[in-house]
Each structure stands twice: as C-alpha cells, then as structure tokens.
A and B are shown apart, each in its own frame.
Chain A
Amino acid sequence: MYVIEKTEELSQGVKSFIVKAPRIAKKCQPGQFIILRTDEDGERIPLTIADFNRETGTITLIFQEVGCSTRQLGRLQAGQAILDVAGPLGNASHIDKFGTVVCIGGGIGVAPVYPIARAYREAGNKVVSIIGARNESLLILEKEMAAVSDILHVTTDDGSKGHKGMVIDPLKSMIAAGEKIDLVIAIGPVVMMRGVAEVTRPYGIKTIVSLNPIMVDGTGMCGGCRVSVGNTNKFACVDGPEFDAHQVDFTGLMARQRMYLEHEKEERKCGGECSCH
C-alpha cells in the first residue's frame, strides 16, 4: 500500500498527489514513470514521476482525470492509499550540457517536462520553456516552470493567458529569428508532439518526445506499448518512453491509443459518474 500524503487540485480536473514510495523515490530520475493500480479491480495505468524527494521517500504524480481509472484515483484523499505503485519504469532522460534546450509541455504534458527542464538547467543549459493549454484555467505549473527556465513562453488556444495560439508558435518564432537551438524536448498530446517534430525536422534540430501508448505491465512483458520508431518496433516502456521525434510513427501511435475507445464509453455508461468500481 502506498499512502497519499498530500493532494492538491492544480486546475480543473488536474490533481497532484504526493505519495509515499521510498524505494522508487530513492532510485528515480527525470523522465521515468510508475504504473499504479488503485484497487483490486483497478486497471494498471502509467503516470510520470513529476517530482520526487529522496529524503522524505515521496514521489509526486500529476494527472488529469480523463477516464474511469484516473477519476477513481482522483477520488482518493490524503491519508488513503493506492494499492500498487511499481517503478521507476522507463529510461531516464539523457541529461547533459547541450547549450540551448527548448522544453515544450502541452496540457498535462507540462508535468513530465518540469523535472526534465529542471535537470537541464542544473546541468548548465540555457532552458527556454514553452507551456500551453486550452485556456488559462487548465494551465499548470507555471510558477514552477518559470523558476527552472531562463525564458518561459505561455500559450493558450483562446488567448486567455499569454500568447493566443499553439506551443509551436514561439518555437517557430525562435527558429525564424535565427536563434541557435541545440535540443528540443516536447511532451504532450500526440498531435502536439507531431507538430513540433514537423517544425524542427527541416532544420535538423534534434527533437525528443516522450510517448504515452497504452501499457499493461511496463516491464517489456506484453508488447502492448509497441510503437514504430525508425521502422522498427520498440516497446515504449523499456526502450523509451523518450524517442527521436523525427523517427516516430505518430499516426500509428494515435491509432493504437484509440484501441479501447468503445470500451471506455461502455465503462462510463455503466453508472454515470464512473461508479463502475
């Protein structure tokens, strides 16, 4: 059992949990994730380790309540416990001194970008961050991102905060202005990551994305998380989750993410506010 020490609502439907998990907190690195299961009937779902504290033996999870499992998780209160938390999974981000690193987070994707941006900054890079959301109320971790970035751009689809438009806009402007960019990290919805990949591809700017296919075990045992990268199949949980954006088959990834859409509808039907458990 993994006790939830603190909960916080960051924005509508986005929650942050601090969870006691000493073994994981001791070991984890930016870029890694865990797989959890709230109770006996629960699904195994992957969530990025958004932060960690080795002294207190805790990790921070930031998640969006999008479906049955995440809503069920969101109903838990501080003092209650999550049945299973396994990790840290996946490979750590390759942190090094590259020069100028642009860290892009879209929606909930800001959560995984945060520890990575911080690590790049600590490694002596100039960190330019771009975070975006549909509107101001959905924007998360703005203060935290500002604290670990040399420059922070904010975008919203409706212009309620920062630049009106998409996260790729400030990136395009940087490129147009001839700014030297050594590395781009982009995490968010697949369409956004694909968008970023297309922007940087013509300029040969090294671009890394963190993929989020549907997973089961997270240890390379099921193959459910396979994605085509450079025309060979990779298991995102053990070979990734970070990959070279210019090699990823985003179309295939998107199709596979939709595999259980019909089931999820059925799940939600089965009792209004997700009372299926």
Chain B
Amino acid sequence: MLMSLRHKMPEQTPDERRKNFKEVTLGYTADIAKAEADRCLQCKTAPCRQGCPVEVNIPAFIKHLREDRPDQAVAEIKQKNNLPAVCGRVCPQEHQCEKLCVLAKKGQPVAIGRLERFAADYGLSCDCEPREVGAEPLGKVAIIGAGPAGLTAAGDLACLGYDVTVFEALHEPGGVLMYGIPEFRLPKSIVRKEIDGLKQLGVTIEVNAIAGKTFTIDELFEEEGFEAVFIGTGAGLPHFMDIPGENLNGVYSANEFLTRVNLMKAYQFPQSGTPVHIGKNVAVVGAGNVAMDSARTALRLGAENVYIVYRRSEAEIPARAEELEHAKEEGVQFHLLTAPVRIMGSEKGWVSGLECIRMELGEPDKSGRRRPIPVEGSEYTLDVDAVVMAIGQGPNPLVQHTTPGLEVNKNGNIIANEAGFTSKEGVFAGGDIVTGAATVILAMGAGKKAAVAIHQFLQEKHAVKE
C-alpha cells in the first residue's frame, strides 16, 4: 500500500515572518485536519499513547476529529491534558507521541501535535463546571508559581471542589509560557484564555506574590488557613559560563532577553516602557529551545546576523525539530562544534566580539553524548555586539531557603516522589523545580499527579479528624 504523507501546516513564509512577532505556523484548516485524521490507523494497542507523558487517548480524540466532533475531541484530550492548545504547539512530539506512532517507521507519523492544536483551537475549552455558588469547598490549597505545573494542579483541584489560590511572583501568570516562549511560537492570547478558564472555575490568582519574600510556606499554613501547598516554581535561575567579559553591556541571559521582549513587550519600545539592546550581530550560546527562541527573537528585532554557537554537532541539538528547521529557514547561522572562550569589550564597556574555539567530538560522556574537546589553536573571533547566554537554568532557591524541613538535592532541586510528596508534610512539588529544566507536558503531568495526591492527602486528613 502506498504510504500517505503527513499534511504540512500552513505557515508564514520565512521572509515575511522574520519581520513580525505573529505566530509562524497558522494551524490546520478543517479540511486538512480531517484528511490528516484519516491517516490514523486507529491501532488497538495505540503505541503513540505510550510516548505521551500524560497518556492522552490519541486514537480516541483523532476519531472524534474524523467524525467532525472537535468539541468531543477536546474533551477527550482534556481528560489528561489541561492545556492542549499549548502542548499541541510546544511539545517535542518527535521524541514523544509521534515517535512511537506506527507510521513513524516510514518517517511519516500522524501529525498528532498539529491535530491536538487544531482540536484545542477549534473546540470549546471548559471541561468541568465551576463549583456552585455557596457550595462548601473541600479544603483550601495554595499553589506557588503560575507555570504549567501550578496551573494544571490548580485546575484539577478546582474541578475536584477545592478553594484554590495561585501565588505568582511576576505581574502575570503563565510562567515560561508567558515570559519565555515568544509570541510567534505561542500567542499570549492562548495562554490568557487558559488562565481565564481557571478563573471561571473559581481559582484565585494573586500576582506580585513571592513565596519566600512576601510570605513563607509556613505562614500559609499557620496564618492563612491553607491545608496543602503545591510548589511549581520552575527552573528560573539563569546560568552563565564564567568566561571573561560576561558582565559587559550587551550580554544577556536568555531569561532577561526574552523577559524584556515577551513579558515587558520591549519590541514595542518606546510605547512600552522597557528597552532592549538589539545588536547588529548577535551570538546566542546554546542550541535548545531557549536558544532558538532567543535567536529568532533577535532576528525579528532587526539584527542583521544571528549566530547560534553550540559546542556539539547538529545531531545533539536539543531543540524541537520544528524550531530548528524554522530557525534555519529564517536565516539563523549555525556555528556548530564551537565554544565561546571570552567576550571582548570596547572601552566603554560594550560587547565588541566573541572569541570562539572549535571543538571535536570525543568519547561519550555521562549523558551518552560524545564529549566535545577543544581543538588547540583553532580560536577565531565572531564580530558581534550582543551575546545571549542560553546554556540552561537552575532552580531558584527562594522557597527552599525559607522553608525549613523541605529537602533539596545537590543541585538545589526540591526532592519529591512520583506523586509529588516532598519531605515536608502537606507540601507537594512538581515541574522544573523538581526535575530541572524539562518540558511543558512533563510539568503539567506532575501538576496532575500532585492534584490527585493532594486530594488523597486531604481526604485522609479530614477523615481522621471526623
């Protein structure tokens, strides 16, 4: 039988999109979605499901799409995944659901992510009724951090009947979805819509509320009557390389660069109050999603040359396949097997160049990837006036340092088991703060599990009391 090809998703042309912040991919039309859904073989064993960290019932939702029931498709997905419009856009599908699709062997897996996105954008988004006005809540739960982990836990707990308050340090909820991932990849209106949905469920969101500063976890229990706390504070602490010149003007952490542009709308400066320095030639160090986002943002701000500097080879690039491809199409230039050695500066303290050294791949290291080794004497200089460091983030220690009894590992991540229990009674944790920087869907999965665990914990606690 002749294999049918995956349907492409319409998108802005590279020339067009590198000048604007609008979403790059435009989503399937109803016709394309139907045709793509028809490609699914409805496998009984559904291997694709095992690839999804939250085990979305993929064949079932695709069947609904085939039979023109997008609303039911969304309801099916939402059984497992509260933010399908987000995950359909940002999941690394090629390593997850689509990787295990039986059609993947021929290189043409069903476009599960695109279908999920189609269903979510098309269908209605509410999947449970708000608690009735006046109905007694099952208990009072605090969520720290309004990223995907916290928002998911909040939604599930609200559906179960809890009185939920989310405390967020920044002035907007959403976590990385709001301050990190750019508008052209994940429109902020989608994130806001999801958050509005939570508010309709009765979830209170308190912004400008920094756990460990504005209040402590113990105070939430002792003074504010919360019975359980979920910590989903993410991996927000930027890493630098500790090479000379990193404090020069024009050197940003990816967090700062992206926050200025996404959260603070620096691309609209001076209409928005926050400026950002746009180099003419920009080097972005790293090759994950964060690096691709930074590079493509720099292009859109008007940089003429944008370089990705990465010490391993293309095979090891951790970014989503789609982002890598988009970055190439838009003209991002790749300096692979290259590591920065120092940042050169002008008299006035501005970046004037990036000295790099070429690398070659040696024996595999702990991560199983071949270790890059510097090639002696291969130094060269990239002519750049801005550098963005996108080499990873660690856990922010504010909560850990102010919560006695909460155990952390040697990296500073909170220790929690699969279900989300930490070493401190009544305190649960999940997402990047536990695993280290990972993915949206894993953070949501952790939020879901913690909601179940919190429900169980509080029911048992209340039962003992009665």
A residues near B, CB below 8 A?
23-24, 27, 37, 41-44, 68-69, 72, 83-89, 216-217, 219-224, 226-228, 233, 238, 252, 255-256, 258-260, 263-264, 266-267, 270, 276-277
Contacts and interface: CB of A to CB of B under 8 A. Distances in A.
B238 A42 contact: no
A223 B253 contact: yes
17 contacts: A23-B215, A44-B274, A69-B273, A84-B208, A216-B260, A216-B264, A221-B237, A222-B238, A223-B255, A238-B398, A256-B249, A256-B349, A259-B249, A263-B270, A270-B270, A276-B270, A276-B271
A221 B396 contact: yes
A226 B237 contact: no
A277 B274 CA distance: 11
Interface of A is mostly: mixed
A219 B253 contact: no
B259 to A, nearest CB: 6
Interface of B is mostly: loop
A259 B275 CA distance: 10
Contacts, number: 124
B265 interface: yes
Give the bracket for the number of chain B residues in contact with chain A.
35 or more
Given A226-B247, A233-B242, 10 more contacts: A43-B272, A86-B169, A220-B237, A222-B253, A223-B238, A255-B249, A255-B348, A263-B270, A267-B269, A267-B270
A162 to B, nearest CB: 35
A264 B276 CA distance: 11
Contacts of B246: 233
A48 B208 CA distance: 16
Contacts of A219: 169, 210, 213, 236, 396, 398
Contacts of B171: 37, 44, 83-84, 86
Interface string B388-428: 00000000111000000000000000000000000000000
Nearest to A45: B273
Given A23-B215, A43-B274, A220 B396 contact: yes
A68 B170 CA distance: 22
Contacts of A69: 273
Interface of B: 169-171, 207-210, 213-215, 236-238, 240, 242, 246-250, 252-253, 255-256, 259-260, 264-265, 268-275, 277, 348-349, 396-398
B90 to A, nearest CB: 20
A276 B255 CA distance: 26
Given A24-B214, A86-B208, A267 B275 contact: yes
A68 B269 CA distance: 12
A258 B350 CA distance: 10
Nearest 6 CB-CB pairings of A with B: A255-B349, A43-B273, A263-B275, A222-B256, A86-B208, A223-B253
Contacts of A255: 248-249, 348-349
B249 A258 contact: yes
B171 to A, nearest CB: 4
Contacts of B209: 23, 86
B271 A41 contact: yes
A263 B398 CA distance: 32
A217 B169 contact: yes
A221 B238 contact: yes
Contacts of B247: 226-228, 233, 252, 256
A194 to B, nearest CB: 16
Contacts of B396: 219-221
A220 B213 CA distance: 12
A215 to B, nearest CB: 10
A276 B169 CA distance: 27
